[in-house]
Chains A and B, each alone.
Chain A
Amino acid sequence: KAGVTQTPRYLIKTRGQQVTLSCSPISGHRSVSWYQQTPGQGLQFLFEYFSETQRNKGNFPGRFSGRQFSNSRSEMNVSTLELGDSALYLCASSLALTGGSGELFFGEGSRLTVL
């Protein structure tokens, strides 16, 4: 069974640009969530999508957005990039069953550098 796949793995952007990151969850997983990891702030929850609907959102500005497609693949977008957006962006998928194990399966991440 293939794991969570994130693309691209590395990318470099300049301030003011926008970026789109992609995540393909494990087959059968309907929930995809995104986390930002930085040395200063640690791991912070961005948002979660389930069956194409955003059902939970972290405390990030509106420049951060996402969506989920009917095949459960998800994308996140960051517009008007700032230096502080440099981070490792992790995607995680889960079955998200009521009363389930709660285990999230993570991808290897997309390393974004903003110059």
Chain B
Amino acid sequence: AQTVTQSQPEMSVQEAETVTLSCTYDTSESNYYLFWYKQPPSRQMILVIRQEAYKQQNATENRFSVNFQKAAKSFSLKISDSQLGDTAMYFCAFMKHPTGTASKLTFGTGTRLQVTL
């Protein structure tokens, strides 16, 4: 079974600053995906960024980037130039590589990020 751990329940960052959210995971799988999902106060979960485990290059999506350390089983999210709209719960999630038999996500407990003026 997979586990995902987010050790920072809450974080705060000032607008325009950079913040890093931590995530570690445990799995015996060799091929898998990692995700960061964002859940704003309106509740709809949206994908921020994804990383395929077999790719060594860290994923980036505009102001969002990850630091993926496969050996350490670490997957942190860096948000640059933070904006008020980044205020949300952030969930780290794991999925075994889709094989057509399952697409189940295992989530961490989340980090509540508050962006302040």
> A: which residues have CB within 8 A of B?
31, 33, 35, 42-43, 45, 48, 55-56, 58, 88, 90, 92, 94, 96-109
A90–B45 touching, CB < 8 Å: yes
8 A Cβ contacts from B78-112 to A: 91, 95, 97-110
B103–A108 touching, CB < 8 Å: no
A96–B105 touching, CB < 8 Å: no
A-B pairs with beta carbons under 8 Å apart, 7 shown? A31-B103, A90-B45, A92-B45, A96-B103, A97-B98, A102-B95, A109-B43
A43–B91 touching, CB < 8 Å: yes
Residue numbers in A under 8 Å from B97 (CB-CB): 99, 102
> B: which residues have CB within 8 A of A?
33, 35, 37, 42-47, 50, 91, 95, 97-110
A106–B100 touching, CB < 8 Å: no
B106–A45 touching, CB < 8 Å: yes
A33–B44 touching, CB < 8 Å: no
Q: What is the chain A residue whose CB lies nearest that of B108?
A: A42
Residue numbers in B under 8 Å from A58 (CB-CB): 104
Residue numbers in B under 8 Å from A31 (CB-CB): 103
A42–B102 touching, CB < 8 Å: no
Q: What is the chain A residue whose CB lies nearest that of B101?
A: A55
Given contacts A43-B91, A56-B102, contact A103 B47 (CB under 8 A): yes
Candidates B37, B45, B102, B109; contact of A55 at CB < 8 Å: B102
